Copies of this chain bind each other. A is one copy, B any other.
Amino acid sequence: MKSTIITIGDEILIGQILDTNSRYISQALNRLGVVVAERTSIGDSAEQIVETLDRALAATDIVIITGGLGPTKDDITKHTLTRYFGSELVYNEQVGDFVRELLSRRGIAFNDLNRGQAMVPACCTVLHNAHGTAPGMWFERDGKVVVSLPGVPFEMVHLIDDIVVPMLRERFALKAIVHRTMITSGIAESILAERIAAWEDALPEVLHLAYLPAPNIVRLRLSAYEVDGESVAAMIDEQFERLKAIIPEAIVGFEDATVEQLVHNTLIAQGKTLSVAESCTGGNVAAKFTAMAGASAYFHAGVVSYSNEAKIDILGVSAEDLARYGAVSEAVAMQMAAGVRHAGQSDYGISTTGIAGPSGGSAEKPVGTVWIGISTPERTFAVMKNCGTDRGQIIQRATAYAIKMLYEEL
């Protein structure tokens, strides 16, 4: 069963917002066993919507549309779909009553524009949007399904999970899509491909291999589409077992586990605790850990010591060393890591101190220079990394290095 995802909105085409809806819907459809053949973003134009729908319905069986359902004049998706399906707009009392109640809870009067949101195409099945004023709509034609959802991510997520996925499961007899990913580290993509070439050539035809390179990491994904899920999962396990024998030193995890998840799991398993002192990464290392449910079991404290005073007062860094070596130095990184380990009463401490730019660099310490400190019950040390030239990139890379260095110590 194949599908197309269409996101509608000029804000996507001009790059004003990042399209996260498509990704969410892709994941939901894949889990369901529906292949996403294409994702398309188009503007708020009736002509483009009609053309794209024609094409999507010719090539695929399920079309999921988001966006263009707001109460204002720039939103035209509902009117366009009504004409496309040769229907007419009728007032839906349930939607009207719900919108009225939702607005009254927020202290907002129900007006003509809200009344317009309760007008739905007569031919569609209305999908109740419990979190917003625009309902979803489900259309059928010639055995194919078109679903239109609001573009507000939170509303879309609930409609997909609570209503669309169950309805699709009921409506179609779906086979499984299986993806499994092995995470390797330490071998460059081209060398890795060479080493596993014989294994790759001998893969069963149903399995598709993809290489997903990232800094320090290459993910190997095996995918099979519209298959019997259980037997293919076993087949993939067998292939990954063979791969383990070929590159035993390179495998660091499975699936989309990030390095911080690996650290998170390890700390919980070992019953150890962590505190973090950050200068240039500005809270990103702490945020990576605390984003994960259960982090409070091991995460004690984070300190974003941007000023020298904070380094001295909160972390106990030596004022003399700060003056002698500068804030971006091996000595200060080590004292920050040890200091936060102590202040947070924890087993491990990580620190980052560097020059995120765009200003503040020098010939000796250019923008991108970052010292990363690690303090464990056994030792405290620091390593210098050059993390690039762009502020955002430097923050991201320094964060990734710091977490990876801790992982290697555990």
**A200 contacts the other chain (Cβ, under 8 Å)?**
yes
Number of copies: 2
Using C-beta atoms within 8 Å of the partner chain, give the interface range for chain A. 35 or more
Cβ-based interface call for A270 (8 A) = no
9 pairs from A and B in contact (CB 8 Å cutoff): A10-B210, A13-B38, A16-B212, A17-B212, A37-B43, A71-B190, A73-B209, A282-B295, A301-B314
- A interface, over-half SS: mixed
Is A143 an interface position by the 8 A CB rule?
no
CA distance in complex: A213, B41 (Å): 19
B109 touches A191 (CB 8 A): yes
Which one of A119-127, A284-292, A376-384 is at the interface? A284-292
Complex alpha-carbon distance, A19 and B39, angstroms: 11
Given A74-B211, A310-B300, check contact A27 B11 (CB 8 Å).
no
For A181, the chain B residues whose CB sits under 8 A away are: 16
Q: How far is the CA of A309 from the CA of B343 in the complex (A)?
A: 9
Whether the Cβ atoms of A290 and B303 lie closer than 8 Å is no
Residues 350-366 of A, flagged 1 when their CB comes within 8 A of B and 0 if not, give 00000011111000000
Inter-chain contact B41/A15, CB cutoff 8 Å: no
Q: Measured between alpha carbons, how far is A252 from B1 in the docked complex, in Å?
A: 47
CA distance A26 to B42 in the complex (A): 12
A245 interface residue (CB < 8 Å to B): no
Contact between A303 and B300 (Cβ–Cβ < 8 Å)?
no
Are B191 and A111 within 8 A (Cβ)?
yes
Q: Which of these binds chain B: A78-86, A233-241, A318-326, A391-399?
A: A391-399
- Nearest-Cβ distance from residue A254 to partner chain B, whole angstroms: 13
CA distance A264 to B350 in the complex (A): 27
- Which residues from B are CB-within-8-Å of A229? none
Chain A residues 15 to 60 lying within 8 A of chain B, measured CB to CB, are 15-20, 22-27, 30, 36-44, 48
Q: How far is the CB of A147 from chain B (nearest CB, A)?
A: 17
Give bound CA distance, A133 to B276, whole Å. Answer: 36
CA distance A13 to B208 in the complex (A): 14
Q: Which residue of B lies closest to A285 (CB)?
A: B283
Q: A190-B114, A256-B16 are in contact. Are A306 and B283 (CB under 8 A)?
A: no
Of the candidates A112, A304, A310, the one having the most CB atoms from chain B within 10 angstroms of its own CB is A304
Residue A188 lies at the interface, judged by CB distance under 8 Å to chain B: yes
CB-contact partner of A301 in B275, B280, B293, B307, under 8 A: B307
With known contacts A111-B190, A193-B71, A303-B303, A14–B26 Cβ distance under 8 A: yes
Considering only CB atoms, which chain B residue lies closest to A287 in the complex?
Answer: B283
Provide the residues of chain B in CB contact with A44, threshold 8 Å: 210
The minimal Cβ–Cβ distance linking A74 to chain B, given in whole angstroms, is 5
